[in-house]
Structures are given as C-alpha cells and as structure tokens.
Amino acid sequence: KGKIMNENQIFNEEFLNLDFKLISDEIKKNGFFSFDKAVSENFINNIKNDVGACGLSLNKNYVGGVYFTHGHQFFLTHMLAVSKSFFNYCTHKKILDVCTDYMGDGYRLKALRYYENLGGQAMHWHTDNRYYDGSEKDGINTKKPGLIFLTYISDVDDGEFQYVRGSHKWSTEKNFNDYSADYINKNYKNEIESFKKPRGSLVIYNTHG
C-alpha cells in the first residue's frame, strides 16, 4: 500500500531519517550538503500558492514581491509574513538540529526569502559572510559561522547554483567577497560543484564558501 502523506509534512521521510550530525559533518568538510527531493510536493505547492497570492507589491497595503535587476529576478523578502508553510520549514526540528550542531546555541534566522532567477539573470561568484553597517559600500567581512538553506521549488537543469568545494576554509583570508568567473575558472575549476537538481531538492552551505 502507498503511504498517505500528511498535507502539512515539510520533509520527506528519507531526509528526516538522516542523522543531523552527518549533515553537519559533510558541510564542515566540503562546505555544503545536498539531498534530492528533501521536501514534499505538498510543501512545494503550498509555497507556490502563498507566493502567487502575494504577487507584485504595486498599490497594495500588503506584503508583496518585486522584480529586480531589470526584471531578471523576482524577490519576495518577507516569506514569514505570508506563508505558514515557510515558517514551519524554517523552525522545523531537523533544520534547528543541523544549525545547533554546526554553530552552537547562539544563532539567528535571517534572509528569509523566496526568489526566482529568470532568463538573462547573471549571479556572480561571491561569499555571503558580510554585513552592512552603512560605512562600507560593499559590506564588511565577518568570521562568524553561517549556513544557507536553499530549496528548489522547480526543476533546475540550467543556470544552477554552484559552489567551490572547500572554499569555506580559505575565503576568510581574502579582504573581498566578489570573484570574477575568470578567477574561479583559472584557480578552482576542478573544485566547482554544480547542483542541477529536481524540484524539492535541498542544498545547505557555509556562507563563507
């Protein structure tokens, strides 16, 4: 008999059965962890419905999305305000267990957003271990640990996310966060990991990579 899935279930059983310490250890080693179809189809559909109900933030007294970089990218930066499914995802015990094992008890959730990279969008190589206090145009590096959880809401087989394996171990030695494609290809071509994944897949990675 087929198993009936709870309509509120966020993660599939295969992912839930993984030891969170194994996930954390893999991130410590390579800078990332990935798992195909980690989240349920119900969760994906709920997210799509919640985002679709918001639409664009034009002449509305409500949280909505915006188009960015000449219409090549769509952002909805306040997902916690519009999606209970997203709240349940961010506060799920599995997520918190990984974070606690990797960073200890003193961490916070931030940058809780949905986005779409559309045709023509070019996202350059960069690290996300920086913050802005108004004094530095390009941000200030921080050595504090951080994790990003990236979940694919659609199949991604072109323009996929990429990560330089092991880069979380040396990027903090640099005084900059942005890298040219030529620099990466010249120095780390053999270390590039590409994540062409089906919808529902999860990539967790260190912000220093």
pLDDT for 73 equals 86
1 pLDDT above the threshold of 50: no
15 contact partners, CB below 8 Å, separation of at least 6: 35, 38, 39, 94, 202
pLDDT tens digits, 67-106: 887 778 898 999 999 999 999 999 999 999 999 999 999 9
203 pLDDT above the threshold of 70: yes
63/119 Cα distance (integer angstroms): 25
pLDDT for 141 equals 67
pLDDT for 102 equals 97
Band the pLDDT of 56: cuts 50, 70, 90. Answer: confident
178 pLDDT above the threshold of 90: no
pLDDT for 138 equals 63
Band the pLDDT of 2: cuts 50, 70, 90. Answer: very low
Partners of residue 126 on adjacent β-strands: 178
Q: Are 208 and 168 in contact (CB under 8 A)?
A: yes
Band the pLDDT of 140: cuts 50, 70, 90. Answer: low
Q: Are 121 and 72 in contact (CB under 8 A)?
A: yes
136 pLDDT above the threshold of 80: no
Residue type, 21: K
Q: Are 204 and 23 in contact (CB under 8 A)?
A: yes
143 pLDDT above the threshold of 80: no
Residue 208, burial from CB neighbour count under 10 angstroms (0-12, 13-18, 19+) = buried
